[in-house]
Chain A
């Protein structure tokens, strides 16, 4: 089981505001140094993380919290030379005004990850010139599909069944799920 301590070089490069905010969490392959930041400081912090030797960008995880009215963005950044150490830079932006700076000038791969966050969550990245539908092109009309308040079942019913209820040939739930079926021997 891999265990790590906080990287001194990272602390040195980080802005004054965040020097004592780095926390080590996780176990096994997910051991990481976590850092919660304000969304406006993103570019500066990410640039500092890169200067500290974390040159391998993994991706952006966007998490939608409708009950807290926020989007949480987790930037996973690893390092080639530092034994694949992981830094998770987390930030939260309001759900009704989802805008944040683009970091594709720091990490080129972020360009495509930001397009993905745009099409699936509707997050706008400032200073990004190619926000468009990429994976969903010609496939999807409607709200950004990975948002929690998008009910795909409802949309599918509207699109393919004219808003009516989909009638299944066997009423699986009325049979009581797996246990009842085994007893009666039906559904084989």
Chain B
């Protein structure tokens, strides 16, 4: 039997590719030997565009960086801006932010079923997940006025006050999506086909995960209990009582199960926040319009995929307040997952072509945050 090593291009149009990103795959028969990322299909030059626009326009633009989980990107930008302004949001706004962020995480995890259950051919699972996500999008429409990009989180608090029937409506949405997620667990996460495809595949040991820069569910799936919500205690997370889930073996199955447990955790956190939040009081501090002071801020947030960082520097040679920030840098969680981590797993383990979509799916990649 002769051996022939071939190069194959996977994506960005391939259904197994996680969105707008390509891979150059080196294969020997069925076995994948090496993989290289080809980014840049969704490069829109946000970091340059933001230097030309007013800071509040940049906030609206920042949400476009990750379509599936826009609120966490807004939250990082907002945290960094608040440090430059030197303000802290009122307590009510902190709770609203937690609820918005957790719903965003929930919607993102539900959409992830499309990338993960699709390649395993479990079409039913992704239609259930999208049905549950639809309820969340309707809820966002009711609170913020938009379905996908909400622009609801704003430096100094949140943009609008919550409606008067906020608590009842939110609890109703949770009541609808909870059985749908339960169905997903029973119908997909306990299914023998899923377990067979994901178990013992793509193992990432804790030491390597830290070394290679993995964050979020990928790191927690490897058994490292690292969660910025718990360590930095930003916004109202400091008032809530919870324990982030983690896996123990670090394979694709563990990463998927961490996400499933996080869905339940998000529901629990929203319920806790609804119970504890003050419904009276201000929802936003007024900040001076148009211009921003000079300074530097770093926003770090645990997004649905991992650590999202926004580093904003405002500088002017005339040392006057400016309208546009001098430089903004975003660090998305998908960077390490699709470069160092993926390369490490493929070079150290026997991965076949059929495993590849499941493996890439288990990272829940959002390629726009590589390109920006």
Contacts and interface: CB of A to CB of B under 8 A. Distances in A.
Contacts, number: 114
Given A61-B329, A109-B335, A136-B43, A86 B340 contact: no
B80 interface: yes
B45 A152 contact: yes
A145 to B, nearest CB: 6
A134 to B, nearest CB: 6
Contacts of A146: 47-48
A113 B370 CA distance: 10
Interface in A68-88: 74, 76, 80, 83-84, 86, 88
B298 A30 contact: yes
B267 interface: no
A179 to B, nearest CB: 14
A18 interface: no
Interface stretch (A5-13, A52-60, A95-103, A168-176): A52-60
A2 B234 CA distance: 8
Interface string B206-223: 000011110100000000
A137 interface: yes
B298 A32 contact: yes
A109 B232 contact: no
B29 interface: no
Interface string A138-175: 11000001100000100000000000000000000000
B211 A135 contact: no
Interface stretch (B95-103, B255-263, B311-319): B311-319
A63 interface: yes
Interface stretch (A21-29, A37-45, A180-188): A21-29
Contacts of B86: 27
Nearest to B231: A84
Contacts of A2: 232-233
A29 B340 contact: no
Nearest to B84: A30
Nearest to A112: B339
A139 B371 CA distance: 12
B300 interface: yes
A136 B224 CA distance: 35
A63 B40 contact: no
A63 B309 CA distance: 16
A50 to B, nearest CB: 10
20 contacts: A28-B79, A28-B83, A28-B88, A29-B228, A29-B299, A30-B299, A32-B298, A56-B213, A58-B309, A59-B309, A61-B327, A76-B331, A80-B224, A84-B232, A107-B213, A108-B340, A112-B339, A139-B40, A139-B43, A146-B47
Interface of A: 1-2, 26-30, 32, 55-59, 61-65, 67, 74, 76, 80, 83-84, 86, 88, 107-109, 111-113, 120, 134-139, 145-146, 152
Given A28-B82, A30-B299, A84-B228, 6 more contacts: A29-B299, A57-B213, A61-B327, A120-B47, A135-B39, A146-B47
